[in-house]
Chain A
Amino acid sequence: MRRVERWIFSSGSAERLAAVRIGLCSVLAVRLSRTVYVHLAGQPRALYRPLSFMKFFSAMPPRLPVLIVQVIGVAAAAAAAFGWRTRATLPLAWAAGVFLNGMTTSQGKVVHNDVLLLLCLVPLLVAATADVWSLDARAGRTQRGEAFRYGWPVNTAMIVVAGAYFFAGFAKLVNSGPGWVTGGNMRWILYAASDARPVPNGLALFVADRAWLAHIVAGCSMLMELTFPVVLFSKRARPLYVAAAAVFHIGIWLTIGLDYWPQAMAAGIVLIDWTAVVARVRLARARPAISPG
C-alpha cells in the first residue's frame, strides 16, 4: 500500500498534466456539443428511467435549462482546454458533463460512453492543471510550481483507465465465468446486433458465422481487459494497450454499432506521454540538420 501511495504521489511534469487537461477538455467540449441532450429534454415522462442523482428530477429537465447548461458546458470545456480561468471552468465543464450525460443514462440502460472521460477528469478538478500551456500562465495568474504538484492527477487518471478496462473484464468473469469466451456468447451477441438492424451487418456476421473466430475475438477482448493494469507497471506496454483499446472500440463500433470513441480517446490521452512524443518528433526532425555530410 505504501508503494502504491508513493507511486501515486510521485513527482510529474507540468507539461504532461497540461497535455492531459487539453486533451480531455477538448473531447468533453466536442461531446457536450451534441444535440442529443436537447432532444432528450422533450421526452414524455413515461419513458423517463432515472439513475443515480437524476432521481432528484421527476422527469427529464425542460429544454431551456438543458440548453443553457449545454452552452455553459461547451464554453467552459473549451475555456478549460485553453487554460482560461481553469480553476473555475474545468469544474463547471465537468459538472455540466455529469448532468447532461446523467440524462442520457436515464433511459432505462446504464450508458458508459462518456463515463471514463468524466472519471479521468475528477483528479484534474482540484489539480494545478494550468501552470503551463495555458492562458492563465500567459496572463501571470499561474506559474510553474514544484514537481510534486503534477504527478498525482495523471497517475490517478491512469489507475482509473486501467481499472475501467479491468473491471469490465472482471464483471464478465463474475457474471459468466470462462463461458463468456468458451461458449457461444460472442456469436449470439453479434447475431443479435446484426439482426436488430434494418440491413444485416456483414462484419458481425463474418465473425459470428465462424465459431473459432468468435472465440478468438472473445478471448482477446477478455485478455486485454483483465491484463490492462499492466499499463501501471510498464511504460512500454502503454502504447500497445492504447492501440489494442482503439482496435477493440473500432471493432465494437463496426460490428455492434456502439460508439465508444470518448473512452478510447481518454485512454490514449491519459496513458501516452504526449510531451515525450512531441519531443521525440522534434528531435527526429532536427537530426538530419545536424548530421554530417
Chain B
Amino acid sequence: MSEEKPLAPTRVPAWTRAFVAVFLAAFIVCGVGGIELWPLTGWRLFSVSRQRLDVGWSAMTVDTRGREAPLPLGRMPISYRGAALLVGRFARMKDADREALCEALVAGANRVGARAVSLRIYRVEVDHSIRSGKRPAAPLSMLAYQCGNGRVVSLQT
C-alpha cells in the first residue's frame, strides 16, 4: 500500500465503498474459513497432503460373457468427466444414487461402443513409493461393488 496518490475520499460514493467492503469481506471470510460459496471459494487446491499409499477406485464394464474392460472414460463425452470422482464416492452414496450412477455409466459406455451389461467397481491401493520403471508397482485391487439392471451388490468385507 505504498503508492498512495492524492486522495479524495469523500468523493467516492458511499454505496461504492459499501459494495467494495461487502465484496472484500465475503472474499476474505471465505478464504480464511475455507468456505465454498462459488465463485467465492476457500482456495483449498491440493491443500491436503498426499500420502505414499493412495486409495482410489476404478470402474470396469462387464459384458454378457462376464468379460471385463476398463470404463472407456477417455472416449465418453465430456459430461462424464466427473464420473471418476463420483465412483470414488460410491461408498457414501444412497442405494438409489448408486443405481442411477451405475445405469448412467453403463449407458454412456455403450454409447461409445462398449457392450456392457453391468459395472464392477474396484478399490485400488497404490503405493507410489514402490515403482516399476515409470509406473507404480502392481496396485492391489479388490472388487467392492457390482451393479447393473437396477441392482447394486456390495462385496466389501
Residues of A within 8 A of B (CB): 3-12, 36, 39-47, 49, 51-53, 60, 98, 101-102, 105, 107-110, 112, 115, 118-119, 122-123, 126, 146-149, 151-152, 156, 159-160, 163-164, 166-168, 170-172, 174-176, 179-180, 183-185, 187-189, 191-192, 194-195, 198, 200, 205, 232-235
A3 to B2, alpha carbons, bound, how many Å?
A: 10
Closest beta carbon of chain B to A46's beta carbon, Å: 4
* Interface contact A39-B77, CB-CB below 8 Å: yes
**Is B155 interfacial (CB-CB < 8 Å)?**
no
With a cutoff of 8 Å between Cβ atoms, the chain B residues found around residue A47 in the complex are 79-80, 82-83, 86, 101, 104
* Interface contact A171-B20, CB-CB below 8 Å: no
Inter-chain contact total with CB atoms closer than 8 Å: 192
* Interface contact B5-A156, CB-CB below 8 Å: no
User: What are the 6 closest A-B residue pairs judged by CB atoms, nearest first?
Assistant: A107-B82, A167-B31, A43-B79, A46-B100, A188-B50, A44-B104
With a cutoff of 8 Å between Cβ atoms, the chain B residues found around residue A46 in the complex are 97, 100-101, 103-104
* Interface contact A119-B128, CB-CB below 8 Å: no
Closest beta carbon of chain B to A154's beta carbon, Å: 11
CB proximity to A under 8 Å, residues B35-59: 36-52, 54
Closest beta carbon of chain A to B34's beta carbon, Å: 6
* Stretch binding the partner chain, chosen from B61-69, B114-122, B129-137: B129-137
Main secondary structure of the interface of A (DSSP, over half): helix
Query: Closest residue to A191 on the B side, CB-wise?
Result: B128
CB proximity to A under 8 Å, residues B67-122: 74, 77-83, 85-86, 89, 97, 100-101, 103-104, 107-108
Query: Closest residue to A119 on the B side, CB-wise?
Result: B39
With a cutoff of 8 Å between Cβ atoms, the chain B residues found around residue A119 in the complex are 27, 39-40
* Interface contact A167-B32, CB-CB below 8 Å: yes
Query: Closest residue to A118 on the B side, CB-wise?
Result: B39
A-B contacts, 21 of them at CB < 8 A, read A6-B9, A8-B20, A39-B78, A42-B77, A42-B79, A44-B79, A45-B100, A47-B82, A108-B86, A112-B41, A118-B39, A119-B27, A147-B6, A159-B24, A164-B43, A171-B47, A176-B49, A189-B50, A192-B54, A192-B128, A205-B134
